[in-house]
Amino acid sequence: MKLTFYGAAQEVTGSSHMLSVNGSNVLLDCGLFQGRRKEAFEKNRNLHVDPAEIDLILLSHAHMDHSGNIPTLVKQGFTGPIYCTDATADLCRIMFRDCAYIQTKDVEYVNKKRIRQGKNPFEPLYTIEDADKAAAQIRSIPYRQEFEPAANLKVKFYDAGHILGSAFTEIIFKNNGSTRKLMFTGDIGRRDIPILRNPEPVKEIDYLITESTYGDRRHQDIGNTKYELQRVVNTICRTKGKLIIPAFSIGRTQHIVYLLNQLYHEERICPLPVYVDSPLSSAATAIYSRHTECWDENALRFMKLAMMPFNFETLRYTEDLEQSKSLNDMPGPMIIISASGMCEAGRVLHHLKNNIEDERNIVLIVGYMAENTLGRKIADKQTSVKIFGETLSLRAKVEEISALSAHADKYEMLEYFEFCGIRHIDTAFCMHGERETLERFAGTLRDNGVKNVHIPQPLQSFEL
């Protein structure tokens, strides 16, 4: 058995690893590298693997850093099946298209400059046609149903509790005459995330490929989130301002809508209008609504009380750009939830531009903001920020709720692996983390009984 690590090796993006066993090449995720434009351009096109040699893909979940480069692989000649859960399949269908659209727009922007300079124009990473072709290769498999995608290879998906449809992948195969189990975590979710079930244990793991994003950190207590949100909303009710929440379209938006819904029904907040203003967020929420097989008991109970988790009287999903623009002229109090999550593109930029100079308003930060993004500058409360080339004074209040993270922290991951039987793990590979975090998390795994722990270099292979 051989493992090769193509992406998310000593970094937090572009997850992609290959398992070669018994004559089959199985790619685990094929994520988009997200970062500086030039580096992303190179890394996403140069796959370091012949797509025709890959037999199949096992996909953990729909986040772009795990799934977003699959259409590139298809464009370059991969014709095999892509296995994932049903909810992941539905999310990928809209995500692939959205990503193709962004890639096309981005290249158009770059090409304008290149043509002026007399250089050859670039092609987009992939188009909507490539995205649809990739989506047609997806085969969906329910959680906990064993399937055999290749000879002598038994696979099962378990609930990872990270986003809708997210899965831990269990692969059982024969290696040198004995039966072995490999587990690939994708991203590890958390107990008590709204809507989703808790991460399910995978027992008797021999080989582990694990994420390590927050492998040296402790999150705030998730239980307080709802009441922190209540406090911020009630401030907006008093100031009659606008509460702008930049949020990722998949996961974070639905969690916030669900919590606001509960606060509304419990009459803990004033009945102010709430707008979800992002076409991708609306489409993703429709998929969240449909896949009740992924919901936890609380969400199902909520529905039994004749309440839809993602709909309540004062909530609106905006339909078009005109409606989005009209929010500018409406008086507060109101809440606008909009993408992108790190304020780098999308409709949220317009809302920030129109509202951050008014001290009655609040910008609520609910997710990780990477360095150099507008989101980070706002979270750091810089006195002035640039939006669409215009310098604006940040007078709105900035609040932060960090407990909404969908990734387990160090203690939650350790608790999870203890539940799985950590001493059974022979060899672990720590991926998807910053260098120092990886070192610390690898140490934690060793201290708790994992025999061999590696931090692979990019493109490094291991024979086991």
The structure tokens listed for 71 are: 């259409």
Contacting Zn ion within 445-464 (CB under 5 A)? none
Judged by phi (left if over 0) then psi (alpha if -120 to 50, else beta), residue 90 lies in: alpha
Q: What is the distance of C-alpha 68 from the center of its chain?
A: 11
For residue 63, the minimal CB distance to Zn ion (Å) is 4
Residue 26 or residue 59: which is nearer to Zn ion going by CB?
59
Binding segment (CB under 5 A) for Zn ion, from list 110-118, 187-195, 217-225, 365-373: 187-195
Rounded to the nearest 5 degrees, what angle is found at the Cα of 43, between the Cα atoms of 442 and 109? 135
**SS3 of the chain: helix, strand, coil, percent, to 5:** 35, 25, 40
Applying CB under 5 A, what is the total number of residues that bind Zn ion? Answer: 2
Q: How far apart are CA 80 and CA 83, in angstroms?
A: 10
Q: How far apart are CA 355 and CA 118, in angstroms?
A: 41
Contacting Zn ion within 374-433 (CB under 5 A)? none
For residue 68, the minimal CB distance to Zn ion (Å) is 11
Residue 80 or residue 367: which is nearer to Zn ion going by CB?
367
Residue 86 or residue 187: which is nearer to Zn ion going by CB?
187
How close are the terminal C-alpha atoms of the chain, in Å?
5
For residue 326, the minimal CB distance to Zn ion (Å) is 34
Examine residue 200 and tell whether it contacts Zn ion (CB under 5 A).
Answer: no
Judged by phi (left if over 0) then psi (alpha if -120 to 50, else beta), residue 193 lies in: beta
Contact predicate 173/162, CB 8 Å: no
Contacting Zn ion within 288-347 (CB under 5 A)? none
For residue 165, the minimal CB distance to Zn ion (Å) is 11
Binding segment (CB under 5 A) for Zn ion, from list 56-64, 132-140, 241-249, 374-382: 56-64
Is residue 428 classed exposed, middle or buried when 0-12, 13-18 and 19+ CB atoms within 10 A define those classes? buried
Binding segment (CB under 5 A) for Zn ion, from list 136-144, 180-188, 309-317, 392-400: 180-188
| Of residues 343, 341, 351, the one with CA closest to residue 321 | 351
Binding segment (CB under 5 A) for Zn ion, from list 172-180, 184-192, 266-274, 352-360: 184-192
Three-class secondary structure of residue 343 per DSSP: coil
Task: Please identify which residue in 63, 181, 252, 350 interacts with Zn ion, judged by CB under 5 A.
Answer: 63
The structure tokens listed for 21 are: 């066993």
The structure tokens listed for 276 are: 């979800």
Task: Please identify which residue in 29, 86, 170, 187 interacts with Zn ion, judged by CB under 5 A.
Answer: 187
For residue 199, the minimal CB distance to Zn ion (Å) is 13
For residue 185, the minimal CB distance to Zn ion (Å) is 10
Name the DSSP letter for residue 341: T
Residue 93 or residue 397: which is nearer to Zn ion going by CB?
93
Residue 192 or residue 357: which is nearer to Zn ion going by CB?
192
List of residues contacting Zn ion (CB under 5 A): 63, 187
